[in-house]
Amino acid sequence: MKKIILSLLISLAFASCQDWLEITPYDRLEKEKIFPNEVTTNEALNGLYVSLASNNLYGLNMSCGMLEVMAQHYVVPTEVAYEYYYLNRFDYTADNSKTLFANSFKDAYKLIAGCNDFLSTIKQGQDQYETEKFNIYYGEALAIRTLVHFDMLRLFGPMDAEKERSSVPYYTESTDNPKPILTGAAMVDSLLVDIDQAINFLKNDPIIQDGKKSNSANDKVAFFKTYRNYRMNYYAAYLLKARLCLYKGDESSKATAYNIASTMLNNMVPGNTSKETKFTEEFPLVKQKGTEIITDYVFFDELIFAIHNTNRNDVYKKYFSADLDALKILGGGQKAYDYLYGAASPGGLDPGLRSRMWSFDGVKNHYLFNRLAVQTATTSNPYISERQSMMRVGELYLIAAETAPTTEEKREWIDKLRSGKGYDPGNAADLADVELNALIDLEFEKETFGEGQYFFYAKRKDLKLHDSNNTSVNMDRGKFVPPLPEVETDYRDRE
């Protein structure tokens, strides 16, 4: 695709909580041989993160919007003109559906181009940076590029059993010439090389020693040490690698995914198990304590990687708010809620906070999804009310459970997750493999609801979906694999 000089909104932040919120426009990242100073470098890197949070990417389409509709997670308005009407019916040829896919694809590859420009520019001026600062810059940008490439692969790429089919283009440099469209197998292999390089650059990430938020008196200027879970940090890069290994799917890759997840959850550094961490203290599973008021349904303490989405409340008001007419809101069905959280659920009555992300609206006769709602206690603190999940610690427990080498270890890992969410310990003790695997599927759906992950999970495992009425939805390639957007195919046809 054509090279695009990425338009960036820059946050002059990651230095302190207040500075993080002072987002200023930065019209264009000009093509320079080197960045003139660290301030400009920081601004350019922050621009990549701001782009991640756009509505066409993880602020909406690739999180709580398009992908969740495809996963059949909402009661979708039945007006034909509603933007998700056709998508909810897997009609990918309708204009609304094609526009959604095209917008996400275009913005994804704009961001990939921005990452490539950033990587090229800082490499040209490498001598002006301290080694560890350069490594953090380079590692984060490379990990972002890998993340976005991978999610384009997961969306438009082939089913698990058909990885030799074509997927999406892979760009490691900014160019006016279209790069080849790789097979799914070749694409994941390329991305595994990239994420290993990113991990190596991030091996001295401050998050390992200092945690996700430094308590240093110098936080105001500690660009590299403050709020590290708002960055593609060392742990996030390893979780991304585990996702890639599950996608690759061979036994060796599954074993690698298990090693990553179990090592991190056992408070050791992947690749250096002699080095201890406080990972599970830094990223605890969140469960209700008594009758405390819940002010954060995103469960920030669990987030290994988050974005700061200044449009989060606007997204909530447009799609999920109780103030919306019943014909305009994305809600949840009673039967689907009961299947996930109720007493008749295959997982049993959910006693934890995940079920409280929902509230029943008797007038609309369905459930309201409140994960993105701004709680009264946080309205004056955008640092809390504008954060959004990209990766959470519960996924590591589920990866460990899915890939564990023995049934007993599967039980142990799923029990650790569920007991951390409020279930009685030992709740999975008597389950056989088939039941355990079904429970892992259910817990993944609950754990990542509203975050765009379950469609990818179901596609990888070729699972049936269930709609808002808890009716089973048979899936196939035509439903799991949208066509590559015309913005890409038409451009190639012109070459």
Confidence at residue 493, expressed as pLDDT on a 0 to 100 scale:
59
Beta bridge partners of 269: 272
DSSP codes, 225-237:
TS-GGGS--HHHH
Q: Are the C-beta atoms of 202 and 223 separated by less than 8 Å?
A: no
The residue with greater pLDDT, 215 or 478, is 478
Q: How confident is the model over 364-368, as a mean pLDDT?
A: 91
pLDDT tens for 157-205 read: 999 999 999 999 999 998 888 999 999 999 999 999 999 999 999 999 9
Q: How confident is the model over 44-49, as a mean pLDDT?
A: 95
Q: CA-to-CA distance for 159 and 151, rounded, in angstroms?
A: 14
The letter for the amino acid at 337 is Y
Helices and strands (H, E) in the chain, number of each type: 20, 12
Instruction: Name the average pLDDT for the chain.
Output: 88
The phi and psi torsions of 396 (rounded to 5 degrees) equal: -65, -40
DSSP codes, 256-315:
HHHHHHHHHHTTEETTEEEEE--HHHHSPPP---TTPPP--TT-GGGEEEEEE-TTHHHH
pLDDT tens for 387-406 read: 999 999 999 999 999 999 99
Q: How confident is the model over 269-297, as a mean pLDDT?
A: 83
Q: Name the pTM for this structure.
A: 0.92
Q: CA-to-CA distance for 330 and 93, rounded, in angstroms?
A: 22
Q: Are the C-beta atoms of 100 and 83 separated by less than 8 Å?
A: yes
Q: Are the C-beta atoms of 341 and 355 separated by less than 8 Å?
A: yes
Instruction: Kindly state the tokens that stand for 294.
Output: 């819940």
pLDDT tens for 323-355 read: 999 889 999 999 999 999 999 899 999 988 899
Q: Are the C-beta atoms of 59 and 309 separated by less than 8 Å?
A: yes
pLDDT tens for 82-99 read: 999 999 999 999 999 999
Q: Which of 236-250, 268-282, 303-317, 366-380 has the lowest mean pLDDT?
A: 366-380
Asked whether the predicted pLDDT for residue 26 surpasses 60, the reply is: no
The residue with greater pLDDT, 277 or 18, is 277
Identify the band that residue 212 occupies on the pLDDT scale cut at 50, 70 and 90: confident
Q: Where are the alpha helices (DSSP H) in 423-464?
A: 433-447, 454-461
CATH 1.25.40.390 for domain 8-494, yes or no, is yes
Q: Are the C-beta atoms of 330 and 361 separated by less than 8 Å?
A: no
Helix (H, G, I), strand (E, B) or coil at 87: helix
Q: Are the C-beta atoms of 411 and 431 separated by less than 8 Å?
A: yes
Q: Which of 256-270, 313-327, 374-388 has the lowest mean pLDDT?
A: 374-388
Identify the band that residue 36 occupies on the pLDDT scale cut at 50, 70 and 90: confident
Q: Are the C-beta atoms of 254 and 245 separated by less than 8 Å?
A: yes
Confidence at residue 377, expressed as pLDDT on a 0 to 100 scale:
53
Instruction: Kindly state the tokens that stand for 361.
Output: 């609206």
